[in-house]
Structure 1
Amino acid sequence: MSVNNSGVTPQRLLSPLGAIAIIVGIVIGAGIFKTPSIVADITGDVGWALIIWVGGAIISLAGALCYAELATLYPHAGGDYHFLTKAYGKNVSFLYGWAKAMVINTGSIALLAFVFGDYMTKVIPLGPHSVICWAVLIVVVLTIINLVGIEASASIQTALTVLEVSGLIAIIVAGFGFFTSSLPAVENPPLFSSTPQFGMLGLAMVFVLLTFGGWNESAYISAELKGTTHTIVRVIVFSLFIISIIYLLVNIALINGLGLKQLANSKAASAELLGLAFGPIGEKLLGLFVSVAALTSINATMIVGARTNFAMGEDWHGLRKMAHWESSRGTPRFAYLVQGVISLALVGFGALQSDGFEAMVEFTAPVFWSFLFLVGISVFVLRVKDQKTRVFSVPLYPITPLIFCIASAYLAYSSFSYAHSKGAVLISLYVMLVGLAALLVLRLKKPLPH
């Protein structure tokens, strides 16, 4: 077993409700406000559009069930970093942790901070560099809140998630015209009246799965969740059920309220629908909902991202300061500080070179999905390497993990293809090459005992 610098391990301080709020909050982001239009445009058919969303829910559930088996077998604050260590060793897991710590998690925090800053600047401008000021401010404030402790950050997360879900419920209410008769009558073609090409369906699925992305972070809280070992399974499944129902209802509401054609052509479908249903105040409310969604995702990403840093600190002597865990607060303090500093550095870099910054973050997707594919394969690997009795086993094994592995491999391929088409695939390579150099340096240091 790994030991950390303080000799203290994570305690079970997180309630199931707080865990659900973290998972729902990290999955439901700004994507659900944009992806429905993209999927409607690609598919061109109501039936196929909804089938794609249902398919995305099923694939995400397959992956979540794989993570549930691994999380109950190896509950650890390191989440899928820890699973990769068990399956393939510390070299592979370090490269994954490196990518998450340097770009994937911290880059997401920085980009979402800019989204929040864009909306808040319209409400309360903070001078000529208002967006940057808001971005820096929210990273600092949320880092401080998380340093206070897991109970405080989970409480904030629960409140933000409630507000975020309330915004989506407002869209659902507007789309079904529950409290208004001002929506124009729309006519949609019959279900499955046209069939898009298979490749286009695959492209639509990429966007849907990206919108469902984040459920894998549930593994990072498995060692801190109150209750029995089975609690994490219930939390993961229930969270995905909530998310799937909300996503489907939002899509149906947008199709019902705007019509498939207008939805496909719209760049701000949710704002249009709220405007039709509730007038100008409806469109302004959407800005609030998007900013809350950004806040919710930032906070949840901070919670799970710091735990990746903590797990790396446990495994590597040169990073041992990040393995300090404050049991009274339920926080890896130094890991949070490292994450905050990197996030602020990326905010600064993004302010200077916004296009390059967005590309750097976006094109690490090939790395992320490649490692997620390895996590799926680890279900098979660990069935062979570790014959320990499973508290929870993936249903319909091996079909369920195969579905997840195939989907992850397809997304990795699609991400590489997209990055190559933009001439930016080298960005992913550079990130991993620097990670390899860091790995070689750490290998020269004495490893921590296990």
Structure 2
Amino acid sequence: MAIKITPSKPEQLIPKPTLSTIDAVALIIGMVVGVGIFETPALVAANAANGQIAMLAWLLGGVMSFVGALCYGELSTAYPDAGGTYYYLQRAFGKNLSFLFAWARMTVIQTGSIALLAFVFGDYASQLLRLGEYSSAIYASIAIALLTILNVLGIQQGKWTQNLLTLAKILGLLLVITVGIFLATAQPSVTTTTPTTQTTTFGLAMVFVLLTYGGWNEAAYLSAEVSDSQRNMVKILLGTIAIITAIYLLINLAYLHGLGLAVMAKSEAPAAELMRLALGETGAKFVSTLIAVSALGAANATIFTGARTNYALGRDFPKFAFLGRWSHQNTPVNALMVQAGIAILLVIIGAIRRQGFETMVEYTAPVFWFFFLLSGIALLVLRYREPNIPRPFKVPIYPIIPLLFCATCGYLLYSSINYTGIGGSIGVIVLLTGIPILIFNRE
């Protein structure tokens, strides 16, 4: 009698824990300490009554981020998954909402952030060698393509690129801090307060501070790839917040010492102005190079983590299955390629509008803060609905800490809606286009 042999299914490749704690820290610092710290300190100074208030705002930003990191510490250790926030929302609210989040990440949040960072790189690269009328967009597209290729080649290439870019960024920032504190000195008359005619708004200052701290939550998307994640994720989250807070306090102290609050508040590029004051045009050119490197590092980290959500979407929804394929190089190749295509399309749109950076900020902010708020609510829901799930780390002072995190996100959502124009509306509309796609995807 013949024996019927059923062909075995090919092995399904899944994410493997190949990232060390240092790799994860480099990715998160590289993403958070991007280009904002070179722009927003002037906006914070303009809305602070004096230098002490400005420094307090940056310290509070670190404290609020630490609160959020505690919440994500519980979520990422109880539910380690490459989908990160996508997976938490799915567990708490079901597949429909998690689909819309993944759709938003793929079309608005992550791709918009990649395009924004690439535009910043393009702006500064164009100062060194201009490539015609659309120079910034050309550089931005090239950067997205090259960084994506590096990540497609394998996780080792992606993480070592990130480690080197983050190291270069931190060394550059330490130089700026050293110059500001020890070599440059502002006039005594402008070191303490803003002009008496200026209206200051501490709440608006905090909006800019918290936007600059944004991105630490991307650690959640590494939880399936970090070695011994249930033990290390909390260390990664809290450790990176501590490092980032120290960097932000020191760089702002350098700005205040070297420029003074009034000059800082009026400056469009405080880091460049500080370095020009101390070292001349050579110092200003150094800052331009540093900002370009920072933008590249943040873009690479955003590309790395963004593709993980696309992978989770393909893993869970059959019509997007092509995104859910993990390669032998331990990277989601198709998810990376689709992400790059959308980001380059957004670069083209930004180039047409001729306000690439501003367009991408408006495009991403309201949608980002909406889902960030839902992630805090998800922690509360999952504590109630799944009390028996092992939680290697639990948020202290529950539920006060999660509620404080939700209140912060709610405030930033409100502020982002108030301060964004048509770009914010476009982002929301693109998010809503996911609804008919979700309906079509149902079997």
TM-score, normalized by the shorter chain, greater than 0.5: yes
| Residues 1:270 and 2:271 are matched in the alignment | yes
Query: d(CA) in 2 for partners of 1:33 and 1:356?
Result: 17
- Name the % identity: 43
After TM superposition, give the deviation of residue 356 of structure 1 in Å.
8.2
Q: Is the 8 A contact 2:114 2:299 kept in 1?
A: yes
| Residues 1:250 and 2:255 are matched in the alignment | no
Query: d(CA) in 1 for partners of 2:398 and 2:133?
Result: 57
After TM superposition, give the deviation of residue 265 of structure 1 in Å.
1.4
Question: 2:208 maps to what in 1?
Answer: 207
Question: 1:45 maps to what in 2?
Answer: 50
Query: What's the CA shift string for 1:370-428, capped at 9, x where partnerless?
Result: 11111001111001111223100012211211111000000111112223xx3555324
Question: 2:433 maps to what in 1?
Answer: 434
| Residues 1:74 and 2:79 are matched in the alignment | yes
Q: TM-score, normalised by structure 1?
A: 0.91
In structure 2, what residue type is equivalent to 1:381? V
Q: 1:263 to 1:287 in 2, by over 3 A?
A: same
Q: 1:363 to 1:189 in 2, by over 3 A?
A: same
In structure 1, what residue type is equivalent to 2:121? F
| Aligned counterparts, 1:345-424, within 5 A | 345-355=345-355, 358-359=358-359, 361-387=361-387, 388-419=389-420, 422=421
Q: Is the 8 A contact 2:125 2:139 kept in 1?
A: yes
In structure 2, what residue type is equivalent to 1:390? R
Question: 1:96 maps to what in 2?
Answer: 101
Consecutive unaligned residues of structure 2, counting only runs of 5 or more, are 1-8
Query: d(CA) in 2 for partners of 1:260 and 1:75?
Result: 44
Select which of 185, 188, 209 maps to 1:186.
188
| DSSP 3-state at the match of 2:188 | coil
After TM superposition, give the deviation of residue 191 of structure 1 in Å.
8.7
In structure 2, what residue type is equivalent to 1:370? F
In structure 2, what residue type is equivalent to 1:438? I
Q: 1:316 to 1:361 in 2, by over 3 A?
A: farther
Question: 1:234 maps to what in 2?
Answer: 235
In structure 1, what residue type is equivalent to 2:116? L
In structure 2, what residue type is equivalent to 1:131? S
Q: 1:336 to 1:176 in 2, by over 3 A?
A: same
Query: What's the CA shift string for 1:324-372, capped at 9, x where partnerless?
Result: 012x311011101111111122222222233488436524311211111
In structure 2, what residue type is equivalent to 1:340? A
C-alpha RMSD of matched pairs (Å)? 2.3
Q: TM-score, normalised by structure 2?
A: 0.93
Q: Is the 8 A contact 1:13 1:226 kept in 2?
A: yes
Query: d(CA) in 2 for partners of 1:146 and 1:429?
Result: 29
Q: Which moved more, 1:371-380 or 1:353-362?
A: 353-362
Question: 2:3 maps to what in 1?
Answer: none
After TM superposition, give the deviation of residue 101 of structure 1 in Å.
0.4
Q: Which moved more, 1:267-276 or 1:288-297?
A: 267-276
In structure 2, what residue type is equivalent to 1:186? P
Query: d(CA) in 2 for partners of 1:206 and 1:228?
Result: 32
In structure 2, what residue type is equivalent to 1:377? I
Q: Is the 8 A contact 2:108 2:431 kept in 1?
A: no
Query: d(CA) in 1 for partners of 2:18 and 2:314?
Result: 21
Query: d(CA) in 1 for partners of 2:10 and 2:333?
Result: 12
Select which of 125, 146, 165 maps to 2:151.
146
Q: 1:424 to 1:294 in 2, by over 3 A?
A: closer
| Residues 1:165 and 2:170 are matched in the alignment | yes
Question: 2:337 maps to what in 1?
Answer: 337
After TM superposition, give the deviation of residue 127 of structure 1 in Å.
4.6
